Amino acid sequence: MPTCSGEWWAFLPQYGGYISTLCIDSPDNRLPDFPECGSPRP
């Protein structure tokens, strides 16, 4: 099973997949100027 050694991804063997280790520091708890899932494209 391949593993990822980058600083942005962590392999979770118990789930057989990866998760992002990035954290967003924004007062709105979302990416500024980035549409939310399900919103229409501009």
State how far the Cα of 27 lies from the Cα of 10, in Å rounded to an integer: 25
Condensed to tens digits (0 to 9), the pLDDT of residues 7-36 reads 788 888 999 998 888 777 778 777 788 888
pLDDT of residue 1: 41
* Residue from 33, 3, 28, 32 nearest 18 by CA: 3
